[in-house]
Structure 1
Amino acid sequence: MRIKIINPNTTLSMTAKIGAAARAVAGPGTEVLAVSPASGPATIEGHYDEAMACLGLLEEVRKGESEGVDAYVIACFGDPGLDAAREIARGPVLGVAEAAMRSASYLATGFSVVTTLQRTVVIAEHLVDKYGVRGQCRRVRACELPVAALEDDGAAAYQTILAECQRALAEDGCGAIVLGCAGMADLCERLQAALGVPVIDGVVAATATAEALLRAGLRTSKRGDYAPPRPKAYKGLVCPFAPG
């Protein structure tokens, strides 16, 4: 089987790190393709960035459908473009936030999310409600750490994230930590060893879940709102994306 991991930002060093995390958990016979779109923001840190990333992300899904890709992982914690990608993909499409939160709810009665900037907290909180895990999510916390800092100074970033995770365990009454950025994927094992509780990286959780769905012979439903987009004309910059 082939699983395409799409990092919707254009920072290739982060894409390589995300791909390594996915390959580490993929089973025998699973090919992991890790890509970034040709166009889009360097990092995704708000609603505008997410919107600007979606066309490049969807283009990678469209390409995957002609490349024999069986499933997709959207490696950004805002899960941008997730529902739209499910409309155009035959196989499963997993968002890392949804996969991480659902996985955490299997492992502890309560979890806290530790993410990057305070401005993205509301995005994660909206997803908590969308995915129906409000009863399990104790809190969404920000480190006030720009996404680019995860690439610029990994050692300092690790200490900042570790300290916030420790505060979460001390103050939130949680039993697990969800990492709120795909760019934290390489820190997961170290954090888990230091904290002594489950630490869930969405890239790993989504890759494992996608693989399990494929092994079970399950695909995205094409009935209802995940049916393929209705053919129609598009104008201007989005003309090449017109369905049908």
Structure 2
Amino acid sequence: MRLLLINPNTTVSMTEKAAKAARAVAGVGTEIIAVTSQTGPASIEGYYDGALAVPGMLRELKLRQAAGYDAVIICCFDDTGLDAARMFCDVPVVGLCEAAVSMAGFIAQRFSVVTTLERSRILIDNLVQRYGMGARAKVRASDIPVLELENSSSGAIGKLRATIERALAEDGAEAIVLGCAGMTDLARDLQVLYGVPVVDGVAAAVKQAEALVSLGLGTSKRSSYAAPLPKPFLGAMQEFAPVSSIEVSGA
């Protein structure tokens, strides 16, 4: 089984961190192919960054359409471009937020998602509502710019721990979801420290992608995720103009 993990931001160290976490939980025989977007922001913090990250992420999908992979993981907790990628692909495409909150729902009645900045909290809260977990989850911001997670001397870990402690004390949280791909390397230690399940979106997405592939399930091409219709695209978007019914395939 081959899983394509795409980091939609342009920070290579974050891709490497996520790839390491993905390989640590992948099953025997699962290959993780990790790629970094070459176009867009260095980190994704809110709707503007996310919108400008989507073309670079789709370009990485397009470049690898003939490589042959069984599923795609969009490695950003904002689920950046997830619906667009599902229209682009017939193989399963998994987003970190959707994977993590659905997994948390199996192990806890109440859980808190701990993310980075307030602007990201609002976006993720909207996603949690969309995924049907609004009544069971609270989203908290830790006031951490994403790139500070790459700097061990930034104080980001202390802020993250303080936010988790507030979630456990004030939210009635029975589990914690880490709401940023840049936190993936912290999950195991935090679980030991606080004695509650800590769900990492990267690991959750890998296992859910493996499950979908094992069950022989691909993205439905009826209605919502039907392939884009061929039409002219102008200017810088010309390269993304659909020319056939399915642009990307796992075959």
TM range (shorter): over 0.9
Which digits, 9 at most, give the CA deviation of each residue in 1:27-68, with x for residues without a partner? Answer: 111110111111110011111100000001111222232110
Q: Give, in whole Å, the separation in 2 of the partners of 1:64 and 1:136.
A: 38
Distance 1:222 1:79 in 2: 20
Q: Structure 2 CA distance, aligned partners of 1:27 and 1:68?
A: 19
Q: Which residue of 2 aligns with 1:55?
A: 55
Q: TM-score, normalised by structure 2?
A: 0.94
Aligned to 1:115: 115
Matched residues, number: 243
* Distance in structure 2 (CA, Å) of the matches to 1:144 and 1:30: 36
| Kept after mapping to 1: 8 A contact 2:3/2:31 | yes
* Secondary structure in structure 2 of the residue aligned to 1:6: strand
Aligned-partner Cα distance in 2 for 1:2–1:52: 27
- The CA deviation at 1:155 is 7.6
Aligned to 2:237, the other structure's residue is in SS state helix
Which whole-Å CA distance do the structure 1 matches of 2:126 and 2:192 have between them? 30
**Is the Cα contact below 8 Å between 1:110 and 1:175 reproduced in 2?**
yes
Q: Which residue of 2 aligns with 1:133?
A: 133
Amino acid at match of 1:141: R
Q: Which amino acid aligns with 2:174?
A: G
Runs of 5+ in structure 1 lacking a partner? none
Q: Which amino acid aligns with 2:18?
A: I
Give the equivalent residue in structure 2 for 1:163: 162
Distance 1:133 1:63 in 2: 35
Contact 2:181 2:202 in 1 (8 A): yes
Find the aligned partners of 1:227 and 1:112 in 2 and give their Cα distance. Answer: 34
SS at match of 1:148: helix
- Separation (CA, whole Å) in 2 of partners of 1:106 and 1:155: 34
Q: 1:233 is paired with a residue of what secondary structure?
A: coil
Deviations 1:143-192 (A, max 9, x none): 10110100012683222211211110000011010101000000010111
* Partner residue, 1:124: 124
Distance 1:65 1:154 in 2: 40
In structure 2, distance between residues paired with 1:4 and 1:158: 29
Q: TM-score, normalised by structure 1?
A: 0.97
Structural mapping, 1:53-202, within 5 Å = 53-137=53-137, 139-153=138-152, 156-202=155-201
Q: Higher mean Cα deviation, 65-74 or 95-104?
A: 65-74
**Residues 87 and 228, structure 1, Cα contact 8 Å, conserved in 2:** yes
The equivalent residue for 1:27 is 27
Matched-pair identity in %: 52
CA distance in 2 between counterparts of 1:109 and 1:64 reads 40
Q: Decide whether the 8 Å contact of 1:65 with 1:90 is kept in 2.
A: no
